[in-house]
């Protein structure tokens, strides 16, 4: 059997690592990239080689250039800037909710930063993240209701909450106007036996 192509192997490993760091399912990445779930699964397993077009769409879903998808070396500058109008960093943007990542997508990281904007009655409901995951939420504007598992708390401007994110959790705008908050996800690197 031939040795796998090093470039394709790098794309396979990088795709899997980036997706897991984002906490995305294959379905979520398929929706964001326009590449089928089955193709993404085959690429991650190394059983399919992505075409240039498919690799480009995958890179765009992560807010990366095609070069960044295959090159995980350090960038030329040590300052990473995420512009407020860069749509590559929008994780979700609909009539009720906008989530924009504030942390560079190409970094392997244990911590992710997001800006969350919720319209009145808008909400962000999340499935449990990895075991041991925690979130910090700070309200910049408006009133939010936070539910983590069976626990509920209401937060106003300037309030912060720290809560488990390895349970179902939800953030709801319960105020009359737009709510803006900053969200930090923290993932533990240690793996338990469970």
Tokens standing for 97?
């909710």
Domain pair 6-70 / 87-186, same fold: no
* β 97-101/90-93 pair status: antiparallel
pLDDT at residue number 149: 94
pLDDT at residue number 52: 80
Q: Which residues of the chain have pLDDT under 50?
A: 1-3, 74-75, 190-194
CATH classification number, 6-70, choose in 2.60.120.380, 2.30.30.180, 3.40.50.720, 1.10.260.40? 1.10.260.40
Length of the chain: 194
CB 153 within 8 A of CB 95: no
Q: Does domain 87-186 have CATH number 3.30.360.10?
A: no
Alpha helices in the chain (DSSP H): 6-22, 26-33, 37-45, 52-61, 66-70
Instruction: Please tell me the pTM assigned to this model.
Output: 0.57
pLDDT at residue number 176: 95
User: Where do the domains of the chain lie?
Assistant: 6-70, 87-186
């Amino acid at each position: 059997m031939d040795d796998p192509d090093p470039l394709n192997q790098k794309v396979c490993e990088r795709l899997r690592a980036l997706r897991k760091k984002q906490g995305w399912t294959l379905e979520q990445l398929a929706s964001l990239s326009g590449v089928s779930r089955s193709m993404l699964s085959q690429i991650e397993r190394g059983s399919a080689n992505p075409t240039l077009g498919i690799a480009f769409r995958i890179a765009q879903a992560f807010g990366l250039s095609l070069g960044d998808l295959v090159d995980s070396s350090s960038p030329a500058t040590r300052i990473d800037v995420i512009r407020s109008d860069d749509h590559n960093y929008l994780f979700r943007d609909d009539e009720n909710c906008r989530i924009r990542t504030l942390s560079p997508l190409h970094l392997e990281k244990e911590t992710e930063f997001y800006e969350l904007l919720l319209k009145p009655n808008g909400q962000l409901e999340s499935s449990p993240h990895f075991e041991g995951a925690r979130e910090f939420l700070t309200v910049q504007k408006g009133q939010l209701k936070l539910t983590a598992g069976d626990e509920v708390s209401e937060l106003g401007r300037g309030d912060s909450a720290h809560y488990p994110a390895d349970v179902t959790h939800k953030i709801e705008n319960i105020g009359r106007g737009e709510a803006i908050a900053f969200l930090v996800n923290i993932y533990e690197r240690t793996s338990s036996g469970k």
